[in-house]
Amino acid sequence: MSVQAWQPPRRIDAIDFWLRSRLLATAHALRETLRPSARRWTAGTSHALADAPVLAQYRTPLWTDGRADEFPLVAGKVQNLRVARGAFDAVEVPAGEVLSFWRQLGRPGAWRGFVQGRELRGGCVVPTLAGGLCQLSNALATVASRAGFELVERHGHTARIEQAGEPGSDAVDATVFWNYIDLKVRARHAWRLEVELTGAELVLRIRSRGASSAPFVPVTMRRSNEETAAALPVARGCLSCDQTACFRHRPQVDVGPQGLTVALLDAWTPEFARYLREEHPRAQRMQPVPMRLAFWRRPATGWHREPAALAPQAPWTASLRRALWQRLWARRAGRRQASLIDGQRWLAQAFAARLKPEHTHLVVEQSLLPHLQRLGALDGRNVVVLASALPMAEIERRLDEASRRWPDDATLRDFRADPSLVRAESMALARASVIVTPHAEVARQLAALAPLAVLRKLEWALPRAKTVARTNSNLPLVVFAASALARKGARELAAALQGWPCRLRVLGSASDDARLWQGIGHVEHMNWRGDWLAGADVVVLPAHVEHAPRALLRAVAAGVPVVASTACGLGAPSGVREIAPGDVEALRTALRAACAS
């Protein structure tokens, strides 16, 4: 077919194509039922070749192979690749066995998450359900060819996308159509397929410990001529074609040339709120419903103080389920942290279900990140991370170190995440394009974990607070700005205060260990009530892990001296003395110096 020979498609031709394709698909399904030519390989169940050398790799762009005015179809294509990736990633195929594209993927349907993408048909790029999967089949055929595998079955396109195909490249053209136009691959040795969607590319890798002694010759079926992909005519696009009378014509959808930005949020902080207002003022919002007795009242601050056009989407079911679940386990030692992770997973699932193909840029709060990575919702999208915590692996390392120092304190062993979740968080952080955080220690850790990301360090937002006048009491008042937990440094503080006449005010709840504060003259517990800064000489938090030092920020704003560990992430502003976590001597020295100043 040439460009000059192209004629507008007719409805009768479309009906004829539909009838013939259904007949061929039914006949093929019957043949495969009676005598299957390939089996389906379960993804992710075997890891025998996970560390094998990479035999071949192929990268292809996701977003630059289509016209700007056909962006909705390109976005639909990327969404279909997200859904299909799970069927192919981490598949291990034994020696001599066949990998069939359609047997492996299964029937694509809307119930599985497939959407309207683009399909080459009759010289046109037409909208169709699950369109765009040919990019995956092309990449699979190309990487298999590079690895020297046999292409048992392959079919070529009769046209090409305008920006697709590089003259002189070794890319292999392989179209698929359910279920009788298939791509089948076979190798003489066992091999593993890995499929990855970065923010800009589709990446396929083949791993194997064997190598073919002589490469197979690629096979092409049903190609009536010997034209290369670069010589094929350019297909017309339904959303950019001037044939508006065509029955396939679709009106353009204005989502912008780069798609839409959406912020996936879990909690409100003034630093991140300010960042979103300044950097992403038009971003859509998804956030949980605040479960208060008067949740229908409009709060003075929060994510939902936004224009009506940007009103956030709130998953009621997931929010209510999470609130009840966390209330159930709030006071159960060893289960509270697990309940928080459960709630984050439910919220991430609700957000992922609401994401649309045109959501190409995500601003994601860190707590949701590993769950979205597991769901594949980050695939093919640009990701900005609102980092509010240390990586889970680092949290566990710090608590393990503290547990070796205080082996009798069981609370230091409460936080333990599933290893697969820890890996998912590391993978998600590594793919971030920008990491935003006000926390100095989080910024330092993530700079090493995600070296390719742009690190944006925010300034802490100090609350409004009245200046606190220090009393002339003979016994200085030390305020511990947390509950009496070992991970907050309670053990180190108790050791540092031994033999020093002072008064201790614990801002949060008391410890389960009645002997914790023995040897300290006067101890009071505020339980987060009252004016806890009144009369304070110094506010202290020698935590091993602390992600939200709000009490310390209030003390800084009130002009009260602060002694804090570097884990609190304040960055040593004026009036703050920083020490290393677990250093009792340095803590004792800093406390006495702060009270004497």
Kindly write down the DSSP assignment for every residue of 95-141, as one continuous string.
Answer: TT-EEEHHHHH----GGGT--EEEEEETTEEEEEETTTTHHHHHHHH
The three-state secondary structure class of 192 is strand
The three-state secondary structure class of 22 is helix
Residue 511 pLDDT grade (very low, low, confident, very high; cuts 50, 70, 90):
confident
Answer yes or no: is 160 within a domain. Answer: yes
Q: Are residues 446 and 511 in the same domain?
A: no
Q: Are residues 449 and 483 in the same domain?
A: no
* Confidence (pLDDT) at 214: 45
Answer yes or no: is 80 within a domain. Answer: yes
Do 389 and 367 contact (CB within 8 A), yes or no?
yes
Answer yes or no: is 270 within a domain. Answer: yes
The values of phi and psi at residue 248, to 5°, are -90, -5
Answer yes or no: is 65 within a domain. Answer: yes
Number of domains the chain contains: 3
What's the pLDDT tens digit per position in 54-63? 999 999 998 8
The reported pTM is: 0.85
Dihedral sign of CA atoms 586, 587, 589, 594 in order: positive
- For residue 492, the enclosing domain spans 477-596
Q: Are residues 447 and 529 in the same domain?
A: no
Percent of the chain's residues with pLDDT above 90: 45
Q: Are residues 280 and 324 in the same domain?
A: yes
Q: Are residues 485 and 386 in the same domain?
A: no
Which CA distances in Å does 529 have to 405, 518, 526, 532?
A: 32, 24, 6, 7
Q: Round the average pLDDT of the chain to a whole number and report it.
A: 83
Do 424 and 373 contact (CB within 8 A), yes or no?
yes
Lowest mean pLDDT across 158-172, 185-199, 372-386 = 158-172
What's the pLDDT tens digit per position in 436-464? 999 999 999 999 888 888 999 999 999 88
Q: Are residues 420 and 481 in the same domain?
A: no
Q: Are residues 163 and 203 in the same domain?
A: yes
Answer yes or no: is 55 within a domain. Answer: yes
Answer yes or no: is 250 within a domain. Answer: no
Residue indicated by tokens 């710090």 = 398
Burial of 473 (C-beta count, 10 Å sphere; 0-12/13-18/19+)? exposed
Q: Are residues 63 and 209 in the same domain?
A: yes
Q: Are residues 15 and 112 in the same domain?
A: yes
The three-state secondary structure class of 228 is coil
Q: Are residues 140 and 224 in the same domain?
A: yes
* Confidence (pLDDT) at 232: 59
Amino acid at 364: V
User: Are β-strands 91-93 and 191-197 bridged in parallel, bridged antiparallel, or unpaired?
Assistant: antiparallel
Q: What is the CATH number of the domain that holds 443?
A: 3.40.50
Residues 363 and 289: their CA atoms lie apart, in Å, by 18
Q: Are residues 570 and 421 in the same domain?
A: no
Answer yes or no: is 245 within a domain. Answer: no
Answer yes or no: is 486 within a domain. Answer: yes
Neighbours of 378 (CB within 10 A): 25
The three-state secondary structure class of 578 is strand
- Cβ neighbours for 130, distance < 8 A, ≥ 6 positions apart: 80, 108, 109, 114, 115, 117, 178
- Cβ neighbours for 163, distance < 8 A, ≥ 6 positions apart: 64, 65, 66, 67
**Residue finishing a domain among 202, 222, 237:** 237
Residue indicated by tokens 């998600």 = 428
Do 176 and 183 contact (CB within 8 A), yes or no?
yes
The values of phi and psi at residue 551, to 5°, are -65, -40
**Residue finishing a domain among 429, 457, 485:** 457
Q: Are residues 141 and 80 in the same domain?
A: yes
* Confidence (pLDDT) at 451: 85
The pair of structure tokens assigned to 51 is 């560390």
